[in-house]
Structure 1
């Protein structure tokens, strides 16, 4: 992608992440309640699958609207999926901590 497209993508994703935060939390809760993981590795897997299944389509739509072509979108989604999976469990633990501090169940 061109530097301008990367900048547009980043600037679009920031407010979009704010608007999709609550829907993602509901999606993640549904994923956990449906699968009921019990051990650490399964919780990590479920967090990853929930994150990827929610965020990758959002990212694909943003890439399309900022002008990335089909081959760029596919390449970016594949490479981003690896990073998203790596950050999904720490992000999920962060969400759980914020809920605990906020008194939200």
Structure 2
């Protein structure tokens, strides 16, 4: 896949996935108001535009490290979770903190997000790969 298509796929995946999952955690776990959550989600879009492709590269690297140990779906799952957690939590804390949430709300949101990141790490990895497949170049059929 071309770098351009992979960048588009990774960006689409991170923005669409982040909107649904992030807002759910903020509203139902952390107790942020709808306004605070919308603000946080809006702030996440430019951040995700910047980090989507670097995250995709980082995730691919983490998965490759795990495959050096053993090449199976359990290792891929563990490494997807590790990649997602270590890359998303620090950014998430900054975004929620700038949305007007109190320090207690930021801490609560992050604690809730840890659980969500653990639960969503592997599904996101699968979703991102699915998006990459959707955006992949298709061979053209030549007609005579």
TM-score grouping bracket, smaller chain normalisation: 0.7 to 0.9
Q: Which of 47, 53, 74 is the aligned partner of 1:16?
A: 47
Q: How many residues align?
A: 103
More helix by share: 1
In the alignment, which residue of structure 2 is the partner of 1:44?
Answer: 77
Q: CA RMSD in A?
A: 1.8
Q: 1:81-92 alignment to 2 at 5 Å?
A: 81-92=114-125
Larger RCO of the pair (alpha carbons < 8 Å, separation 6+): 2
Listed as ranges, the gaps of 5+ residues in structure 2 are 1-31, 138-144
Larger Rg: 2
TM-score, normalised by the number of residues in structure 1: 0.82
Distance 1:93 1:76, change over 3 A: same
Q: Judging changes above 3 Å, is the alpha-carbon distance between structure 1 residues 88 and 67 closer, same or farther for their aligned structure 2 residues?
A: same
Residue deviations 1:30-70, cap 9 Å, x none?
21122224222221111011001111111111011112222
2:56 to 11, 25, 36: 25
* TM-score normalised per structure 2: 0.63
**Any runs of at least 4 consecutive aligned residues in structure 1 with deviations exceeding 4 A, and if so which?**
none
CA distance in 1, matches of 2:102, 2:109: 11
